[in-house]
Amino acid sequence: MTDVVMPQLGETVADGTVAKWFKVVGDTVTRGEPLFEVSTDKVDTEIPAPADGVLSIILVAEGATVDVGTVLARIGDGVETVTEPSAPTTLAAPVPASTAPAAAGSTSRAGNDEKLSPVVRRLLAENNLDASQVVGTGPQGRLTRDDVLAAVAAAAVPAPAEETTSQGNAGSLSPVVRRLLAEHNLEAAGIQGTGPQGRLTRKDVEDALANPTSTTSRHDEVRIPFTKVRRLTAAHMVRSKATSPHTLMVKEVDFERVEHVRRTLGAAFKAREGYSLTYLPFVAAATVQALREFPHLNASVGDDELVVHGHVNLGIAVDLDTDGLVVPVLHDADDMSVRTLAAAIRDRALRAREKKLAVTDMERGTFTISNPGPYGTLLTGAIINQPQVAILATDGVSRKPVVVTDIFGGESIAIHSVGLVALTFDHRAIDGGYAARFLARLNDIIQTRDWTAGL
């Protein structure tokens, strides 16, 4: 028997939340494959199975937060009998097994005992059912846990002949579905069931939670609990506003030189690298260059002192849809070319959204860029990523008429790509004049640098 424990994800991490189990009790697991997902105050990450075998018991439910080292589950040769844990202070209540959604259209019978999982065998025995009495909806007609529970519920509370949907048919709801409905204050009648005979499945409820506007609840509101990342993002933002006197300064920037490079080299870049050349790596490169000349912005506030960092570890804020924000870090970004920055930014963003970031990917940031610009925003006053002293927001770039001056001082109107960059800074660390000079230098670099180099 192998214990599955809450891992130590970073030196300062004392606990973690079990965000999701990828296996259910009775499933075969292979050493190294993702077993569960952990959310901490640093990162969300998938944890691999420590051994081969059968997931015998789950001791900590999804959503529970426990200390590092707590036993979460056990891997053995078969399913354990659920008993009271010997150490209730460290083990959460055992979690009943659940199954993945059944394969669509599969309605054959599964009477072959060799195909039955340990969980299904136990449920059949407890409810005095024979496998031949239950319709299997799993792959190749295999019986699932939900199939047995549905048969038990149907035998206990026969549905009216005309009742073929989930509306009003509470007797056909599985325990898992009932729990989800109760936890999220939802009515079964407001959700369309996709299971056999219109039965409501776990996936139906989860889909309704993900798309609350599609749920016709009888209540006037839908309550969506904050995820771990959402709660941590909120706490971090509140702490930042309470710590730093935030000041916002904005500069209009002419991106025409960058736009010219994107038009002329963008197609070749995409063909070679496999993704588009956006404005962000250019802004990142210009920011890193400007920070070398204005190092007090690449700093943090210590105990009555300003700690100026020797290297630029550039954080890039990544939106996780409604789940919150994470800020993976490009370490030693001052040594990277535009091409390298583009690749690093893409890599961190993809891994963040796939929840594959390591703790080290989130550490030691010295300056952060937030990039809502792809959504066409006009002006963003971002909140400082503590303990840093500043954050730069890059908003939408659009074609606008501008006044241009030729080498003889003559002026004319031209159409250029123009956008705003907004610097939020900690007024304890620097004053407005320093911030204004930084933005002016950033604008100068974007307009004059030879951007073809390094691409």
Reduced to 3 states, what is the DSSP secondary structure of residue 162?
A: coil
**Between the CA atoms of 138, 142, 145 and 146, what dihedral angle is there, to the nearest 10 degrees?**
40
Q: For the chain, give every domain's residue range.
A: 2-76, 157-225, 230-448
Q: What is the pLDDT of residues 303-317, one digit of tens each?
A: 889 999 999 999 999
Q: Who has greater pLDDT, 142 or 4?
A: 4
Reduced to 3 states, what is the DSSP secondary structure of residue 435?
A: helix
Q: What is the pLDDT of residues 173-223, one digit of tens each?
A: 776 677 778 777 788 887 888 876 777 887 888 888 877 655 544 457 777
User: What pLDDT score was predicted for residue 156?
Assistant: 53
User: What pLDDT score was predicted for residue 110?
Assistant: 37
The pLDDT of residue 9 is above 50: yes
The pLDDT of residue 109 is above 80: no
Reduced to 3 states, what is the DSSP secondary structure of residue 9?
A: coil
Q: Exposed, middle or buried: residue 118 (CB in 10 Å: 0-12, 13-18, 19+)?
A: middle
Q: Who has greater pLDDT, 130 or 272?
A: 272
Question: Which of 318, 328, 409, 413 shows the shortest CA–CA distance to 362?
Answer: 328
User: What pLDDT score was predicted for residue 113?
Assistant: 57
Q: Quick one: which H or E segment has residue 438?
A: helix 432-448
Alpha helices in 300-381 (DSSP H): 338-353
Measured in Å, how far apart are the chain's first and last C-alpha atoms?
A: 54
Q: Quickly state the pLDDT bin for 172 (edges 50, 70, 90).
A: low
Q: Given the structure tokens 């798309």, which residue do they identify?
A: 211
The pLDDT of residue 351 is above 80: yes
Q: Given the structure tokens 């583009």, which residue do they identify?
A: 342
Cβ atoms < 10 Å from Cβ of 305: 9
Q: Quick one: which H or E segment has residue 145?
A: helix 145-156
Q: What is the pLDDT of residues 263-297, one digit of tens each?
A: 999 999 999 999 999 999 999 999 999 999 999 99
User: What pLDDT score was predicted for residue 146?
Assistant: 67
Reduced to 3 states, what is the DSSP secondary structure of residue 91?
A: coil
Instruction: For the chain, give the mean pLDDT.
Output: 82
Q: What secondary structure letter does DSSP report for 393?
A: E
DSSP E strands in 10-52: the ranges are 15-21, 28-29, 34-39, 44-48
Question: Which of 117, 121, 30 shows the shortest CA–CA distance to 75?
Answer: 30
In angstroms, the Cα distances linking 161 to 158, 165, 264 are 9, 11, 68
The pLDDT of residue 448 is above 90: yes
Class of the CATH-defined domain 2-76: mainly beta
The pLDDT of residue 66 is above 60: yes
The pLDDT of residue 390 is above 70: yes
Give the integer Cα–Cα distance in Å for 367 and 388: 6
- Please list the residues that pair with 293 across neighbouring strands: none
The domain 230-448 is placed in CATH, from the list 3.30.559.10, 3.30.450.20, 3.30.365.10, 3.40.309.10, at 3.30.559.10
Active site residues: 427, 431
User: What pLDDT score was predicted for residue 165?
Assistant: 41
Question: What number of CA atoms fall less than 13 Å from residue 322's CA on the CB side?
Answer: 8
Give the integer Cα–Cα distance in Å for 183 and 178: 9
The pLDDT of residue 166 is above 60: no
